Structure 1
Amino acid sequence: MKLGTVIYRGAHRLAAPLDAETVDLLPDLMGISAQNMLSLTENWSIAGENVKDAVGPAEPVPINEGQRAPPIPQPMKIACIALNNGANKDRIIKGPNHPAGFIKPSSSLVRHGQPIRLRTASGRAHPEPDLAIIIGTGGAGISVGGAYDHVFGYTTINDLTAPLMRAEDTFHDRAIHPKESNPFEIEYLNSWVSYPGRYKRTDTFEPIGPWIATRNTVSDQHDLIVRRSHRDKVVPEDSTAKLAFEVSDVVNFKSSYMTLEMGDIILMDTALKKAGSDGLAVQDVDLTSLGGPIEVTISGIGTLANPVEVRT
């Protein structure tokens, strides 16, 4: 089933879509507040059947764009896996043999239909369509075999990148290291350091939703079509079968050094393949100069659409 969060009478409410214009508002179930998606993700194993039974006889209401919210409005963290598409192997000169990445703040999230806000001074900004994991039961040191027991579901994300800001925030320095010949002495080594600050973590750089597809409704998370459309032109379309590290690998590695918590969001990385001989790559669509709207569709999960506002 699909679940999300809407704003109803000034408060967040858990909801299930009935159609494009109507949702069921879910009641409090088994001590789980109908306003708390985080609690539902953690207790899905015991509350899931009750939620399924509640959909239909619950409280159907019409929904409009102003009443939508990110499906998880304030996750503990958003962990992003970098360069995880198999197409990257030809352009990676040197890199880790594990799923490396970075963290984004919840303030970067915007809901389906909410504008992506860009500034001309920030330079080019391109969208990157991602499959995202929603963590249910948290944990540390999670095994590969037990990884899916900690997955609540999947959602759609459009991960914005502004390369100019990355270049502006990169340090070229002489890093201090202990000498190999004598660890009590130091030496200076040429180094380039770039932190995922503004170019990834800016407000509105993480559109999400509109719904979470629970784990049991996605038959194969590594056989999903990921499609991004800019002004009705597909750029690009690819498959989650191309991911270098699978969901279980990512959950296992991430939990080996940081505790995963209920409602955490993990991005699996972007679709890279061009859409046909005249198709564009993700980097070709500069939303700062071209504007929107921009859509990301993942088969079986849903379509995320956002307009674009550009300011000086």
Structure 2
Amino acid sequence: MKLLRYGPVGQEKPGLLDTDGNIRDLSDKVADISGAVLSDAGLATIRDLDVDALPLVEGSPRIGACVGQVGKFICIGLNYADHAAESGMELPEEPVIFFKATSAITGPDDTVEIPRNSVKTDWEVELGVVIGKEAKYVSEADALDHVAGYCVVNDLSERDFQLHRSGQWVKGKSADTFGPIGPWLVTRDEITDPQNLPMYLEVNGHRYQDGSTKTMHFDVATVISHLSQFMSLQPGDVISTGTPPGVGLGQTPEVYLKPGDVMELGIEGLGVQRQKVEASA
């Protein structure tokens, strides 16, 4: 299934994408795409619905982040060997963990704002993993059973804030609009192998990132298992699993986003995001 949330900011309703690409309203069936709805039982209840009987959403509403009420937005750094190389950093022995503020979360096609005093706002297409069942001290063998589904994430980064302003990376990762998620939450039964998904990102029609989850240093199961040794993962938590090469930081000379730029990014089977860039007010 492809689940989504649509409507004005702060007023999103739950929906489902039917086989014809139409949005069907789920608001009479579930309160949101969050919490217990993401469990195997919750998803099974939606799967058993007569889709054709659900109200058809007319027009082209705004699409919000595909998960609501996100508790934790966890990111994995330097998780692709070729991206680590372009960043001039060694591959880690264990997953590098950092957080983005949940206030950074926005819809997949919403405007991205360059924060005040930014000089190096950058892009990163990433595979997002949405937790559906609590994960605490889980094995790699059982880790994927705790996944509700997958989505596209743009892990936007301000490299000067991230790398040169002291402290944790979170400074450069958490500006408002720096976490577009969606357009859809694709349930795990539709993704046969999360380690074989082509992904790309373009700026103004130029393809900078052209990679695949095949080249992850730590695969999804390893990441979930590792995280669960240090914190419990709860339904609705989002894990952004790292980016392939081609970020602005890795270009010669370096290239960064500026007002008026347009990004397009996607992952096979998970949909496409498009964002226009503007300066923050």
With normalisation by structure 1, the TM-score equals 0.81
2:71 & 2:27 partners in 1: Cα distance? 24
Other-structure match for 2:151: 155
Compared CA separation, residues 307 and 121, structure 1 to 2 (3 A) = same
Name whichever of 147-156 and 302-311 sits farther off.
302-311
Larger radius of gyration: 1
Name whichever of 114-123 and 249-258 sits farther off.
114-123
Paired letter, 2:16: A
RMSD: 2.6
The counterpart of 2:52, out of the listed 56, 60, 64, is 56
Paired letter, 2:4: G
- Larger strand proportion of the pair: 1
Deviation at 1:120, TM superposition (A): 5.7
Please state whether the residue corresponding to 1:146 is helix, strand or coil: helix
Other-structure match for 1:132: 128
Deviation at 1:106, TM superposition (A): 1.1
Paired letter, 2:108: H
What 5-or-longer segments of structure 1 have no aligned partner?
171-193, 275-279
1:101 & 1:152 partners in 2: Cα distance? 21
Please state whether the residue corresponding to 2:202 is helix, strand or coil: strand
Please state whether the residue corresponding to 2:98 is helix, strand or coil: strand
Other-structure match for 2:273: 304
Deviation at 1:298, TM superposition (A): 0.2
Compared CA separation, residues 281 and 62, structure 1 to 2 (3 A) = farther
1:245 & 1:142 partners in 2: Cα distance? 16
Other-structure match for 2:81: 86
Q: Is the 8 A contact 1:128 1:282 kept in 2?
A: no
Name whichever of 87-96 and 231-240 sits farther off.
87-96
1:231 & 1:93 partners in 2: Cα distance? 28
% identical equivalent positions: 25
TM-superposition CA deviations, 1:117-136 (whole Å, max 9, x none) = 11462111110100010000
Other-structure match for 2:4: 4
1:129 & 1:255 partners in 2: Cα distance? 24
Which runs of structure 2 are paired with 1:15-34 in the superposition (5 Å)?
Answer: 15-18=15-18, 22-26=22-26, 28-29=28-29, 33-34=30-31
Please state whether the residue corresponding to 1:132 is helix, strand or coil: strand
1:282 & 1:110 partners in 2: Cα distance? 30
Which runs of structure 2 are paired with 1:1-312 in the superposition (5 Å)?
Answer: 1-7=1-7, 11-18=11-18, 22-26=22-26, 28-29=28-29, 33-41=30-38, 43=39, 45-54=40-49, 55-65=51-61, 67-88=62-83, 90=85, 94=90, 96-119=92-115, 121-170=117-166, 194-272=167-245, 281=251, 284-288=254-258, 291-311=260-280
Deviation at 1:138, TM superposition (A): 1.1
Deviation at 1:233, TM superposition (A): 1.8
With normalisation by structure 2, the TM-score equals 0.89
Please state whether the residue corresponding to 2:242 is helix, strand or coil: strand
Deviation at 1:310, TM superposition (A): 1.5
Q: Is the 8 A contact 2:125 2:244 kept in 1?
A: yes
Matched pairs, number: 277
1:58 & 1:259 partners in 2: Cα distance? 35
TM-superposition CA deviations, 1:212-250 (whole Å, max 9, x none) = 110000111111111101112211200100001011100
Deviation at 1:92, TM superposition (A): 5.8
Paired letter, 1:287: L
Paired letter, 2:12: H
